[in-house]
Amino acid sequence: EGAINRIAAGEVVERPASAVKELVENAIDAGAQRIDIAVADGGKTLIRVTDDGCGIPGADLALALSRHATSKIDGTDLLNITSFGFRGEALPSLGAVGRLTITSRAAGDDAAQISVSGGALQPVKPAALSQGTVVELRDLFYATPARLKFLRTDRAEGQAITDVVKRLAMAEPFVGFTLRDVSGGGEGRVTFRADAGTGDLFDAMRARLARVLGADFADNALLIDAEREGTTLTGYAALPTYSRGAATQQYLFVNGRPVRDKLLYGALRGAYADFLSRDRHPVAALFVECDPTRVDQNVHPAKTEVRFRDPGSVRGLIVSALRHALAEAGH
């Protein structure tokens, strides 16, 4: 059973960045306004996510660590997934592949802590915390040396973590994010920071774009706002002159969730095809919103691919909206 759990866990947790993604998504789901992420050695030895969200009542801590015991979906509603997580697998998976400690305090409750390592649960004990949740994951994959061996350098894993945090930060402009590298101990070094947005969504989004993609992009990006058959596309796209030599600055979201999807990347590239050579890549932050029944966001446990019911329509929406914006800007 332990081995099977570890294999299943490996599907959810491929590398430190996937653990960070799950933990930050949980903090977002918990309504956090501030999320602090600390990592050491590319996340291999330590990932710690601290939030000021709703917390977990002490009586529910053990439950949060049991497989499929999510509080976020009721089974009859599998197609109407609005919050990030829904499978109730992240925490049990992390507890199976690393040394996991959760300290939490829900409103009106005392703070409590639970630890699990290699799938073995320790009893809940009292703790000290003023509000929210701290999830600490140490020594990821220590029990599965084969997986450990497949991890890349600390630097590469650290970059993947920064990328995940930036993508989630882009999707949540009203949440404040701090990412710190604590490899050397102590408070560590801040590698990314974005303060919680103020004003309306437009103001917050602009400020977040400037943080993630640079002030130059935020000041010169084309505003995208289009709709087709009930699916909307909003966001910002850069003029062709702001293109990059790699496709790393493309932030795509479906129903608020960061995705890496071939169809969407292809549509973005297609929209710029007349203006960019093959080795140049557009820069954009685009948000597709559609009825949850028109997209399957659960193609893979890591949830970054999607399957649209009508891919042609989505592609058409993106290509035409971007071409229109580029034409308006004189291209």
Determine, following the binding rule CB under 5 A, whether residue 304 of this chain makes contact with Mg ion: no
Alpha-carbon distances, residue 244 vs 213, 238, 249, 275, 280 (angstroms): 12, 10, 8, 13, 6
Q: In angstroms, give the least distance from the CB of 94 to Mg ion.
A: 10
Give alpha helix (H) positions in 38-138: 61-64, 90-97
Considering only the stretches 24-32, 51-59, 151-159, 220-228, report the one whose residues sit in contact with Mg ion under the rule CB under 5 A.
24-32
Length, in residues, of the chain: 331
Alpha-carbon distances, residue 178 vs 48, 159, 163, 167, 195 (angstroms): 12, 15, 13, 13, 8
Would you call 102 helix, strand, or coil by DSSP? strand
Considering only the stretches 87-95, 182-190, 257-265, 302-310, report the one whose residues sit in contact with Mg ion under the rule CB under 5 A.
87-95
Determine, following the binding rule CB under 5 A, whether residue 218 of this chain makes contact with Mg ion: no
Would you call 226 helix, strand, or coil by DSSP? strand
- Choice between 88 and 235, CB closer to ligand ADP: 88
Q: In angstroms, give the least distance from the CB of 65 to ligand ADP.
A: 8
- Site for Mg ion (CB under 5 A): which residue of 26, 162, 250, 304? 26
Full DSSP string of 231-274: EEEEEEE--GGG-BSSGGGEEEEETTEEE--HHHHHHHHHHHTT
117 makes contact, choosing from ligand ADP, Mg ion, none, with CB < 5 to 8 Å by partner type, with none
- Applying the rule CB under 5 A, the residues between 274 and 303 that interact with Mg ion are none
Q: In angstroms, give the least distance from the CB of 164 to ligand ADP.
A: 15
- Choice between 85 and 235, CB closer to Mg ion: 85
Q: Residue with the closest Cβ to ligand ADP?
A: 85
Q: In angstroms, give the least distance from the CB of 70 to Mg ion.
A: 7
Q: In angstroms, give the least distance from the CB of 256 to ligand ADP.
A: 15
| Site of interaction with ligand ADP (CB under 6 A) | 22, 26-27, 29-30, 51, 53-56, 64, 70-72, 85-91, 133
If residue 327 lies in a helix (H) or strand (E), which one and from where to where?
Answer: helix 311-328
Q: In angstroms, give the least distance from the CB of 29 to Mg ion.
A: 7
Handedness of CA 22, 26, 32, 36 (dihedral sign): negative
Q: In angstroms, give the least distance from the CB of 168 to Mg ion.
A: 12
Q: Do β-strands 99-105 and 120-121 pair in parallel, antiparallel, or remain unpaired?
A: unpaired
Determine, following the binding rule CB under 5 A, whether residue 119 of this chain makes contact with Mg ion: no
Q: Measured between alpha carbons, how far is 167 from 1 in angstroms, rounded to an integer?
A: 35
Q: Helices (H) and strands (E) in the chain — how many of each?
A: 10, 16
- Choice between 110 and 225, CB closer to ligand ADP: 110
- Choice between 29 and 154, CB closer to ligand ADP: 29
Point out which residues bind Mg ion (CB under 5 A): 26, 85, 90
